[in-house]
Amino acid sequence: MIETKRLTTDIQQQLAALSPARRALLELRLMKKNQREQTRRQVIAARQLKSAPLSYNQQGLWVLNQLMLGESVYHTPTAARLTGTLNVDALKKALQSLVDRHDALRTVFKIVDGAPTQVIQDVKLEIPLVDLTIMPEDEREAEALRILRYEARRPFDLSQG
């Protein structure tokens, strides 16, 4: 108890010796640290929730999806041309890490107690590998484009992800 009192007195003396500018800087740093800690706690608490009601925008998306079953209205297909040797394992690990880090990439819409609800799932990413090197070189580009078009048109099921 005496040691704690002495430590508190030492800190108070050091604070009193600070110039007003240094004291303001210290208070600002402490405030930012507290804000970061509070944000971190909120993120951890949110991650522990596995479901939540839909936001207003999500409700609109869900209604449109119900009205347009089988359509791919909200697809945003993206393709990247990679050159050189592809390290498939590294690519799979990087994409899995991305999915693990971002809840939005693992969120599906399920009906819970009669209402659409967002549910965060654990996802083991499956990445199909299509090797076009077995085809004649002059046919590969056309086949890759055919596959891309097919995948871009596939309906996305909000309840399955």
If we measure between CA atoms, which residue out of 147, 104, 139 comes closest to residue 123?
Answer: 104
The pTM score is: 0.62
Asked whether 158 and 61 are in contact (CB, 8 A), the reply is yes
pLDDT of residue 116: 92
Q: What is the pLDDT of residues 93-137, one digit of tens each?
A: 999 999 999 988 999 999 988 989 999 999 999 988 898 999 999
Contact partners, residue 50, CB within 8 Å, separation at least 6: 119, 120
> Which pLDDT tens digit goes with each residue over 14-45?
878 878 888 888 788 888 887 877 766 655 55
H or E segment and range at residue 27:
helix 20-48
Burial class (CB in 10 A: 0-12, 13-18, 19+), 106: middle
For position 71, what pLDDT does the model report?
77
What pairs with residue 110 in β-bridges? 117
Within 10 angstroms of residue 59's Cβ, the number of other Cβ atoms is 14
Q: Which domains does the chain have, with CATH numbers?
A: 1-48 (no CATH), 51-161 (3.30.559.10)
pLDDT for residue 137 = 92
Residue 118 and residue 99: Cα distance in Å, rounded?
Answer: 16
Q: Is 123 helix (H, G, I), strand (E, B) or coil?
A: coil
